[in-house]
Amino acid sequence: MKNYRRFARIGIATKGAVFLLMGVMALITAFQLTYALKSGDDVLKWISHLSFGWFLLLLMSIGLAGYVFSRFYLTFNKGDYDGDDGKPTFRRVAYFINGIGYCLLFFTCLKLLFGMPDDDGNAGWKIALLSSIWGKIIVLIIALGLAVSAINEWWISFSVMMDKMTHKENLTNVQYKYLMLLGRLGRFSRGIVFGVFAYILSRSAIYNMKNLPKGADAAFAFMHVEYGAIIMGLTSTGVLFYGLFLILSSKYRNIPIR
């Protein structure tokens, strides 16, 4: 299973690259250097326009496939960070939802890589769905899932789960200490983004589905308007830390694949 774990670690590093770029672009916007807010999909589109964007997208496609594989594997296998005594149902559900979310990002990456057109011109069914009561229910369920994810991120950032996720045998005490600090600050900030995005989605579902946000960039924009550049800048820095933590820790990540 060593190759499977290596594949999963590449996926974790790729996920880190996406969050790092999101954090950098949000930080740039917070200090009004330029308007560069981007969601995960927008980050991939930005990469696709670079000189060697196709090659970077190819690498990111492989990496995202590895991350999706690890989420679905952890959904259905027996072992986890706590050992082989089984895992709670809520954690399996969290792994599955996380995997689905990154499946969408993976498909976006493939569409850009192979030059497939966006389906915005055939989005009539989406408009019809979002205009119905079922559309509101779906959005509210997604908002609830994001709210639960936010609470989970805050819990992990203060719990011993962070220690279980990383092998520290090949790290010095100082390296491990600062790596964990990056991870805890990053996960807490990620929880803030999830929580704010959950609030925006639920408010849109209740009051105005026409203003439904499409990505996490809406959470940064909301913080900038409601709380100012300093709060947005601090949260953006935290998201940047999270991306950096994923990249730096990917080599030492505990992947419970047997």
- 189 within domain boundaries: yes
pLDDT value at residue 177: 92
Mean pLDDT of 242-249: 91
Element (H, E) at 19: helix 2-30
- 173 within domain boundaries: yes
- 178 within domain boundaries: yes
Write out pLDDT tens, residues 186-211: 999 999 998 998 888 888 878 776 76
Q: What is the DSSP string of 138-168?
A: HHHHHHHHHHHHHHHHHHHHHSTHHHHTB--
Write out pLDDT tens, residues 21-78: 888 888 887 776 555 666 677 777 778 877 777 888 888 888 888 888 888 888 887 7
CA atoms within 13 Å, Cβ hemisphere of 257:
18
Tell me how many domains the chain contains. 1
Q: What is the DSSP string of 49-105?
A: TSTTHHHHHHHHHHHHHHHHHHHHHHHHSS-BTTBSS---HHHHHHHHHHHHHHHHH
Write out pLDDT tens, residues 104-158: 888 888 888 777 765 555 555 455 656 677 777 888 888 888 888 888 889 888 8
Secondary structure (H, E, C), 182-200: HHHHHHHHHHHHHHHHHHH
- 78 within domain boundaries: yes
Instruction: Tell which wins on pLDDT, 195 or 258.
Output: 195
User: Domain containing 204: what range?
Assistant: 2-252
Mean pLDDT of 178-187: 92
pLDDT value at residue 1: 52
Q: 18, 105 in Cβ contact below 8 A?
A: yes
- pTM over 0.75? The answer is yes
* DSSP structural state of residue 120: G
pLDDT value at residue 178: 92
* DSSP structural state of residue 117: P
170: pLDDT strictly greater than 90: no
3-state secondary structure of 216: coil
- 257 within domain boundaries: no
